[in-house]
Chains A and B, each alone.
Chain A
């Protein structure tokens, strides 16, 4: 956690070189030259493709139980690439369908928490004063606690379901985004060009969304990528504890929780979803870390 917090601190104080905005094209071009980014993106593309293709690939149903007891606990074979589980379901198919759950929870949760964070962070940083005092206090409170712990408490209170998991992660994770945007807004609002556009009669909302927000694009993308990794970790941990995605929806965390009972006879039930989960999280972490390395101007020639 402390590492994430330090990374966020670095992103908050991320000053852009020469005041130049880093556009999306910039980010893509420089990112493409970094090995970590390339590996990360490849993993993400692979997982997303598999997740999207799951319904059209010629694989067994992820939820259909097999009444034939001899089809239970089958080791990996040509017919069942990753074997079958305790009720005869195809583990390969469940891993792919599980990717759909993990990736959509990860993306949606980050999208929602980014929206909350951007709105609150912009408001606090741009207007300052009492508004800032109130919002900054709330940000600090949510920032103090590990997002997983908050999400667990919210998920427990809301009741276990896919929507509630997304909701629980969103309301636990936004503080990182808010800090980022608030920090940037505090610096950018003092710039001459902001004053100039105010003098020209630009509305507050226009200044916020055309001057301040685009300046935060690069750190925002870095944090979002890491956020997806975190959200997937939280979702699978919640599902593992039984307060996340509910069966029959295939979820990696839940599959691992079932697999733990048969580690001796059928280790493949836990192993394959675990490996898929690790790869996906690793992919998003690599993308985030790599982008930070190439985009942060202070990191030039001083790779750490």
Chain B
């Protein structure tokens, strides 16, 4: 257990420079287009006005001083104020905090859908390797994986909203019914990955000697699969849930926009459209931290189930 604790501490320490580098990239992004103030200022603003804004947003300071201030504010939970028209002068932190639960909700349901489709389908496919069932499942995963999430969302909309008329198209109305389509879009896309991983993991396990030995002892196939093989096969699939977070974060940005789901993703695309750089910064940073945490979670979980990792 002690080695696990030291492994976890090591991993957390290693994540810190990644977070710092992420803040640096997010900070420097504003300078990619040159003078950020020009984008911010009203058109035809005179040099005095530009200078006034520059002082107001701290752009008159040397860049490393600006970064220091940015980091200092960040440590104190201050992400700055929005400069977008609709959310002018509102705290970026509170804007994000407001939308975050909706994104988390969407991701949680999407993740549930993904795993409840992917795991049974992967097992089925592995047990009937090279059969028609297996082939069809593989075709499904290929297509679902190739499908950009916004296109899948639009197809679901055509089917469930336009043709069948079962569900509302917009995210803001209709309570639970409105989360189904965006969550399904995220879930089905990710299910393709889960299925393939479950399948290959199961195939690996049922080729191992101990399974052959169980067979030779005459155990019923059902018992071999569900009591002995599944336990080992499902572990690598579950341990990488953390890595899926990156996929879901990226997917959420697009899917939320398709379905007007009021989460971080839509907040971010709106902020981009309004050239609201503090808000874009805040959104990118919060999503980046999610991805880093997801990776950390996967690492720790993996080390927990597989002692070889933490000793290596």
Contact = CB atoms under 8 A, between A and B. Distances in A.
Interface string A234-268: 00110011110000000001001101100110010
B292 to A, nearest CB: 7
Interface in B241-299: 243-244, 246-247, 249-250, 253-254, 257-258, 268-269, 272-273, 280, 284, 287-288, 291-292, 295
Given A241-B254, A274-B154, A1 B244 contact: yes
Q: Is the interface of B mostly helix, strand, loop or mixed?
A: helix
Contact of B193 (A3, A152, A233, A241): A3
A242 B151 contact: no
Interface residues of B, number: 53
B16 interface: no
A277 B155 CA distance: 13
Nearest to B15: A144
Interface in B127-181: 142-143, 145-151, 154-155, 157-158, 161-162
B253 A233 contact: no
A151 to B, nearest CB: 10
Given A2-B197, A149-B287, A236 B148 contact: yes
A257 B254 CA distance: 11
A268 B158 CA distance: 11
Given A1-B243, A3-B193, A304-B200, A237 B29 contact: no
B253 A229 contact: no
Contacts of A45: none
B181 to A, nearest CB: 13
A2 B148 contact: no
Interface centre among B250, B288, B292 (most CB of A within 10 A): B250
B250 A278 contact: no
Contact of B148 (A154, A233, A260): A233
Contacts, number: 136
Nearest to B283: A153
B235 interface: no
Given A153-B284, A236-B148, A281-B146, A1 B272 contact: no
B279 to A, nearest CB: 11
B18 interface: yes
Given A140-B18, A263-B158, 16 more contacts: A141-B18, A141-B22, A146-B291, A148-B250, A149-B291, A152-B253, A152-B272, A154-B29, A154-B32, A156-B272, A241-B269, A253-B150, A256-B154, A263-B162, A264-B162, A304-B200
20 contacts: A1-B246, A141-B21, A145-B22, A146-B246, A148-B250, A149-B246, A149-B291, A152-B268, A157-B30, A236-B148, A241-B257, A241-B269, A242-B269, A256-B151, A260-B258, A263-B158, A267-B162, A278-B146, A278-B151, A285-B142
Interface of B: 17-18, 21-22, 26, 29-30, 32-33, 142-143, 145-151, 154-155, 157-158, 161-162, 193, 196-197, 199-200, 203-204, 240, 243-244, 246-247, 249-250, 253-254, 257-258, 268-269, 272-273, 280, 284, 287-288, 291-292, 295
Interface of A: 1-3, 5-6, 137, 140-141, 144-146, 148-149, 152-154, 156-159, 229, 233, 236-237, 240-243, 253, 256-257, 259-260, 263-264, 267, 270-271, 274, 277-278, 281-282, 285-286, 289, 304
